[in-house]
Amino acid sequence: MSAREFTVLSREWCHLCHDLVAALAPLAEELGWSYRVVDVDQDPALEARWDELVPVLLHGETELCHYHLDEAAVRAHCGRVGNTL
């Protein structure tokens, strides 16, 4: 994982997951961050931990939001960690 990389915990069949990724893509590009999408259904440990919260946006182990993109929370987090990366 890159220091400036978000992780989206997702499910292939989940419309909220697709919506979160679609909203995140332009924001990540604007901020100069990348993101990767991880299907929780492919990993029993992730599914057990995050099952009902998916989609979840993480930076490392830090949960930034779930269900819907919280742009303000993402921007605030990036502002806090941006100078320390």
pLDDT band at 85 (very low <50, low <70, confident <90, very high): low
Work out the percent of the chain whose per-residue pLDDT is above 70: 94
Q: Which among 2, 10, 84, 79 has a CA at the least distance from the CA of 47?
A: 10
The pLDDT, as a whole number, for residue 11 is 97
Please give the structure tokens belonging to residue 75: 């921007």
pLDDT for 73 equals: 97
Of 34, 64, 46, 44, residue with least CA distance to 9:
46
Reported confidence tier of residue 4, pLDDT bands at 50, 70, 90:
very high
The pTM for the full model equals: 0.92
Domain spanning 5-81: CATH 3.40.640.10: no
